[in-house]
Structure 1
Amino acid sequence: MRDLLFLAHRAPFPPDRGDKIRSYHLLRHLAQRWRVHLAAFIEGEDETVVREGLAPFTAGVALVRRTKGRVRAALEAIATGRPVSLAAFDSPALQRAVDDAIAAQDITTAFVFSSQMAHYVDAFSGPIVMDFVDMDSAKFAAYADTARGPMRWMMRREARLLLAHDAGVARRAEASLFVSEAEAALFRSRAVGARIHAVENGIDTDRYDPAIPAENAPHPLIVFTGQMDYRPNIDAVAAFAQNVLPVIRIGHPGAHFAIVGREPAPAVRALAAQDGVIVTGEVPDVRPWLAAADVVVAPLTLARGVQNKVLEAMAMARPVVASPQAAEGIDHDGTIRVAEARGQARAVLDLLADPDTAAALGKAARAQVIARYGWDARLAPLDALMEPAP
């Protein structure tokens, strides 16, 4: 069994948010064929819990606690001409851990999860497989379109510098991965000559089981799940609560909108003052909230790649109303309702008015996920990509 260096900007345990779910399943898959040495950042997690969770899949683990704030990262980035995304994850301690692993182990290949980590293997001479997941430079370009003043300049700068960085990394890598073919195609148009592939996310349909007991919550219940300090999620729930929920409550005065996710930003917490809005903060498990939902919504206007929140709701056999942006990249075969902002209230109202149709839609969505999105099937193409070109 050969030795693999696996780098991640967040330790892949616990798998409790979109990027960590993907990195966790990638790590598990690779550990079947490689002896994996992991180097990653942790933030608020308990280090002992993280190490215990990763132990079955790793031969060695180096964890560095990331404490650098956004302001410091921005100042360092401007001073050095780098993207803020790279400065934010720059750490001499992690570089030492990477160098020590390469020196002590017979590392033949590096797997890098997220472009913020690519510079740690600048001196590594072996093949590199790069998982960009999403095209983050496009996300910052979209932010710039709605920003003003200095922030508009910063977002444009970030989009430009990050794209140049990522294109250079991709041209060096044996393979560059994206979570959907749409993301891969967009990056191919910007990084000519790179070897770019789509390796999609999956879903654990045994864990996301509709039979899980539901949360005791008011009905009708509309649910959104996500990391609630993440700007696309913040914007999505704010717009839905302010513009869509009031229309729904005309027809269903008792309807509630539950925003389920950790670290709600002040703008999200403030929504709890609105009639019908529930802001849970961190919960032990989102599945009971999904099980309780009459409808799950994903009204994101800025979304990259495949939205795990949509796959999870589908696996739980919930009827889903998603924006076109949130549905992009998901092979749902008509088993979710896709609606622009102006049509989301109507789509939710139609499902609430016809529980039989809503239940049938949810059942079809789960069947689609089982058929299309098992992790083993989604990650099978990775095995060939991990082999260096002859």
Structure 2
Amino acid sequence: MSEVLFLAHRVPFPPDRGDKIRSNHFLRRIAELAPVHVGALADDAADLAQESAVAAISQSHCIVRRNAPLQLAALSALGQGLPVSLAAFSSAKLQRWVHAVLEARPISAIFVFSGQMAQYVPPEFRGRVVMDFVDVDSAKFEAYAQTGALARRLLYAREARLLRRFEEATARRATTSLFVSREERALFESRLSGAARPDVRALGNGIDTELFDPGVVQPAPELAGEGPAIVFTGQMDYPPNITAVELFAHQVMPLIRQAHPQARFAIVGRAPTPAVRALEGVGGTMVTGAVPDVRPWLAGADIVTAPLLIARGIQNKVLEAMAMARPVLLTPAAATGIGGVDGEHFALAEAPLALAGRALALLSDRAAAEALGASARRFVIAECGWDRMLAPLQALIGAQTDVA
């Protein structure tokens, strides 16, 4: 029986953040279709502790701690003319393991999750290569390069330029390349050089609507109070998330609190930076840090917001809030790729005054807000189930076995 090599830039367990949710579902589906060997990098001891979960689903595995400081990776990349993203996820140990697996096992396909891992695919491999870029990383760095100190802008511009070149070369090497939305696929294709086009497809994220069900959890008691609660969830050392909550706390919440003086803004997510921690108490803001389960915080929210100015791909945080039947307030960037309709499945606004206006409208008409949330849940149940999203995987990896 043909086997599959699965490579991921982070251990796909537990599925508790956007990239891990996607990689976890892809891995579990592939493991149903064929024997799978898993190579992944670990950010920390918590990732390493998930090795038993990886072992349980795979025929063999290699988990390597990624412990080179970013500054050292940057120096290495500068010396070699490589994107920093590649140097930061480079491991000689993992590279040796990949070669050993390819020599010893009948690997017919390599599934690569995230562009940084394409460096591990040997040029001489002749089987299928499915490259899941998820989103266009080089475009993200181009956006970063527009603001900040000069040295930082120059570094981001370099990263964007080199990464764009690497992404195109990788897509041309791959059998098929995947992106999380039609918009990301179109963006990538618009940046390709030459007339020949590689096989590039959109394969979206799903949502587990049985897990994210408002009927199975109780609201977080921390949100109980006289004033309305507005919630943001996400990884809080991620720059676009930091920018989003700073904007909301400083520019939107003061406008909301003119009408609702007791309104609160809860920032829920792991690894808050000092800049995020400094928002505690600003405009009714509370910063929770990591929580064992985001669902109670979503369940207790009068509004869930994602005021992202820079967003790549589909935001899992938005799908989760919609599945929990909450009224969701989004910027257009955060709504990209979801496919819902403004006013029917979520509320869209971008400038602080417009965000505050849509929030106040939702808070003033609770029946309409609840109807918006119920419509959102119906939408994700119908359109965003993981089974539907992952149906193309069997053909992509060339698996001949029946679905388990």
Query: 141-150 or 86-95: which moved more?
Result: 141-150
Q: Which amino acid aligns with 2:219?
A: A
Task: Check conservation: 2:181, 2:202, Cα contact below 8 A.
Answer: yes
Determine which of 205, 208, 212 is the counterpart of 1:208.
212
Pairing 1:147-158 to 2, within 5 Å after superposition: 147-158=148-159
Q: CA deviation at 1:29?
A: 1.0
What's the TM-score, normalizing by structure 2?
0.94
2:350 matched residue in structure 1: 340
SS of residue paired to 2:369: helix
Query: What 5-or-longer segments of structure 2 have no aligned partner?
Result: 400-404
Q: CA deviation at 1:228?
A: 0.2
Pairing 1:296-335 to 2, within 5 Å after superposition: 296-333=304-341, 334-335=344-345
Task: Check conservation: 1:199, 1:382, Cα contact below 8 A.
Answer: no
SS of residue paired to 2:50: helix
Q: CA deviation at 1:328?
A: 0.9
Task: Check conservation: 1:39, 1:62, Cα contact below 8 A.
Answer: yes
Determine which of 256, 263, 275 is the counterpart of 1:267.
275
1:227 paired with 2:228, answer no
What's the TM-score, normalizing by structure 1?
0.97
Counterparts in 2 of 1:273 and 1:254: CA distance versus 1, 3 Å:
closer
Query: What is the distance in 1 between the residues matched to 2:102 and 2:119?
Result: 14
Q: CA deviation at 1:100?
A: 1.9
Query: What is the distance in 2 between the residues matched to 1:91 and 1:293?
Result: 42
1:8 matched residue in structure 2: 8
Q: Which amino acid aligns with 2:152?
A: M
Query: What is the distance in 2 between the residues matched to 1:98 and 1:277?
Result: 47
Query: What is the distance in 2 between the residues matched to 1:147 and 1:122?
Result: 38
1:364 paired with 2:368, answer no
Q: CA deviation at 1:47?
A: 5.5
Q: CA deviation at 1:387?
A: 2.7
Pairing 1:1-390 to 2, within 5 Å after superposition: 1-46=1-46, 49-123=49-123, 124-191=125-192, 192-211=196-215, 212-216=217-221, 217=223, 218=225, 219-333=227-341, 334-341=344-351, 342-387=353-398
Query: What is the distance in 1 between the residues matched to 2:281 and 2:300?
Result: 22
Counterparts in 2 of 1:114 and 1:237: CA distance versus 1, 3 Å:
same
Query: What is the distance in 2 between the residues matched to 1:347 and 1:55?
Result: 48
Q: Deviations over 1:218-251 (max 9, x none)?
A: 3410000000000000000001100001100110
Q: CA deviation at 1:96?
A: 1.5
Query: What is the distance in 1 between the residues matched to 2:53 and 2:300?
Result: 29
Query: 158-167 or 146-155: which moved more?
Result: 146-155
Identity of aligned residues (%): 54
SS of residue paired to 1:332: coil
- Deviating beyond 4 angstroms after TM superposition, the runs of 4 or more aligned structure 1 residues are none
Query: What is the distance in 2 between the residues matched to 1:8 and 1:196?
Result: 19
Task: Check conservation: 2:48, 2:65, Cα contact below 8 A.
Answer: no
